[in-house]
């Protein structure tokens, strides 16, 4: 596995960890943010942030893959 793929997988793992494994840690009603209980705000925040994290992972993988292909030739 190339370094770019490994780094992009680690970056792509962040939204999964925050939406699945971190929920018991943020499971509370207070504080209320934008009229939403904290846990609902947490979920909505990460749903909107996930595409940007995955876009960064995609660009990171392409950056490393293009650099490695240039070195092989």
Predicted confidence band of residue 63 (pLDDT cuts 50, 70, 90): confident
Q: Summarize the confidence of residues 49-60 as an average pLDDT.
A: 93
Cα 70 to Cα 6: distance, rounded to the nearest angstrom: 19
Complete DSSP assignment for 46-57:
HHHHHHHHHHHH
* Domain range summary for the chain, segments of one domain joined by +: 3-65
Query: Number of helices (H) and strands (E), helices first, in the chain?
Result: 2, 2
For 2-43, the pLDDT digits (tens) are 788 888 899 999 999 999 998 888 888 889 999 999 999 999
pTM: 0.76
Residues 35, 39, 42, 47, Cα dihedral to 10°:
-100
Q: What is the pLDDT of residue 18?
A: 92
């Amino acid at each position: 596995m190339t370094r770019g793929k490994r780094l992009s997988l680690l970056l792509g793992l962040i939204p999964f960890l925050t939406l699945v494994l971190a929920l018991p840690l943020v499971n509370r009603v207070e504080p209320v943010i934008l009229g939403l209980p904290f846990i609902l705000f947490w979920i909505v925040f990460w749903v909107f942030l996930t595409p940007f994290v995955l876009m960064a992972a995609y660009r990171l993988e392409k950056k490393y893959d293009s650099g490695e292909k240039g070195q092989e030739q």
